[in-house]
Amino acid sequence: MEDVYILGIESSCDETAVSVVKNGRIILSNVINTQIPIHTVYGGVVPEIASRNHIDNISDVAKKAIEDANIDFNRINAVACTYGPGLVGALLVGLSYGKALSYALNKPLVGVNHIQGHIAANYITYPELKPPFLCVMMSGGNTQLVNVKDYTDFEVLGRTKDDAIGEAFDKVARVIGLGYPGGPKIDKMALNGQANIELPKTHVDGLDFSFSGIKTAVINLHHKEPDINKENLCASFEKAVTDMLMEKVKLAIQKINVSKIVLAGGVSANSYIRKEFEKIETNGIKVYMPDLKLCTDNAAMIASAGYYNFINGKIDDLTLNAVPNLKL
């Protein structure tokens, strides 16, 4: 089969990203313009500011992605674009740019679910990885256990009833004064701490999760004891959320009887969570974790997921709209 080149576009939150990926697995370019320094001042992403910055950046990011890939625009087989979930204004910038490109180049437009993209980051990290597998999807906006039956066939087994795990990291970090984005900062702090503070774990039936209780418990504790050791608090918070996550992962493994566990999303960059998942590797179970630079938002993962949609005939037309609460 002839090589297939997909141009991926991602703009669902605060990263403007464009990438060219060959055959769904090989990155030719991966350009990311992050707005983190801009939003840090506000302690979180300001949607309107994110949209405006995407507009300012998207053309230059796309041009650089094409230059870095050393490929002519006309050699692209399809334009893959995140169309949800995410911030509607932010999504619309990348999607409109992708539609214009698809129209001007006369190449198919392929809509990609951002969560499907996070899962596909693993196809780039592990060229041999194939479905079926259990995906533990943990990002700033989503936390779910997904039975990935095939490249474009997903069954959500459980999801958070309230906060996403990344949201809990970010809110805890903000309240205890670590700033935004909180996940990496808690990760670093926890490395020097002891998980010696007992925190309440919320129990939810089945394979669903709840992270708002633990978030509130940490915040209340910090308000009550402002001088509490932050390193220990971070380590204890990380341990408690990881225990809650692991309990459900073990249940899911029994339920669908899989041998491959695949991590995805920004929180899968967490060093404690990665170590704990390594421990569940046995003769029968292998754990896959995306390359650190592919855990958080990027367009290479969108191009990879777009490749599988494209070769499976999942192509969209120019009426495709942004869907902020898109489900898998």
- What is the nearest approach in angstroms of ligand KG4 to the Cβ of residue 285? 23
Q: Give kind and range of the element (H or E) at residue 147.
A: strand 143-150
Residue 305 CB, shortest distance to ligand KG4, in Å, is: 13
Shortest reach from residue 110's CB to ligand KG4, in Å? 19
Query: Nearest approach, Cβ of 206 to ligand KG4 (angstroms)?
Result: 23
Query: Considering the complex, what minimum distance in angstroms separates the CB of residue 273 from ligand KG4?
Result: 7
- Using DSSP's 3-state secondary structure scheme, residue 264 falls into strand
* Residue at token pair 């974790």: 289
| Chain centroid, CA 267 distance in Å | 8
Q: How far is the CB of 272 from ligand KG4 (least distance, A)?
A: 8
Least separation in angstroms between residue 207's CB and ligand KG4 is: 20
Output 66 or 172, the one with its CB closest to ligand KG4.
172
To the nearest 10°, report the CA torsion of 219, 221, 222, 223. Answer: 90
Q: Which is nearer to ligand KG4, 168 or 197 (CB)?
A: 168
Residue 102 or 242: the one with the smaller Cβ distance to ligand KG4 is 242
| Pair 27, 294: CB distance under 8 Å | no
Count of CB atoms situated within 10 Å of the CB of 239: 19
Q: Determine the Cα–Cα distance for residues 287 and 285; give it in Å rounded to an integer.
A: 7
Closer CB to ligand KG4, residue 91 or residue 197?
A: 91
Q: Is residue 143 helix, strand or coil?
A: strand
Contacts to ligand KG4 by CB under 6 A: 13, 118, 139-141, 166, 169-170, 181-184, 187, 265-267, 269-270, 296-297
Nearer to ligand KG4, 170 or 276 (CB): 170
154-160: which pairs have CB atoms within 8 A and are 24 or more residues apart? 154/116, 154/119, 154/328, 156/327, 156/328, 157/207, 157/252, 157/255, 157/256, 158/206, 158/207, 158/208, 158/209, 158/248, 158/252, 159/208, 159/209, 160/208, 160/209, 160/210, 160/211
Closest CB to ligand KG4 among 162 and 256? 162
Return the number of the residue (45 or 76) whose C-beta is nearest ligand KG4. 45
DSSP annotation string for 305-325: HHHHHHHTT--B-TT----TT
